[in-house]
Amino acid sequence: MTDRIVIEGMVFQGIHGVHEHEQLAPQPFEVDVELALNLQPAGLSDDLALTADYSRVFETCRQIVESTRFSLIEALAEAIAQEILAGFPADEVTVRIRKPAVDLGGTFRAVGIEIRRRPPGR
């Protein structure tokens, strides 16, 4: 599948991390999501019901980042991927999460992870 809906650079405040100082106050998390699905039916009909409503995808990501707590951003990404696969007609979802404010004792832009998931049975 080559068609994709891409939402890049979503920024939410969340409390996720292993270290005690990361669990005291929200910090920024940058989230990118790509949904692979056939966009031709929506493109030919101009019908939102035949695609994934990206405003709903955005709200799904916001709700998970801002209202849950995980030690690992791997677990946060997995929660986002599973929720998107359960709620949207995607054949595959890619989730990238970056943590730009983590303290590693040096200079860097961000640390992050990327996962790619498919619905069960695909």
In the beta sheet, which residues pair with residue 47? Answer: none
Out of 41, 99, 114, 117, the active site residue is 99
Q: What's the Cα-to-Cα distance from 90 to each of 17, 45, 66, rounded to whole Å? A: 29, 19, 23
Q: Which residues contact 60 (CB under 8 A, 6 or more apart)?
A: 80, 83, 84, 87
99: annotated active-site residue: yes
- Token look-up 């790619």 returns 116
3-state helix, strand, coil in the chain (%, to 5): 35, 30, 35
User: What's the CA gap between 23 and 87, in Å, rounded?
Assistant: 29
Give the active site residues: 99
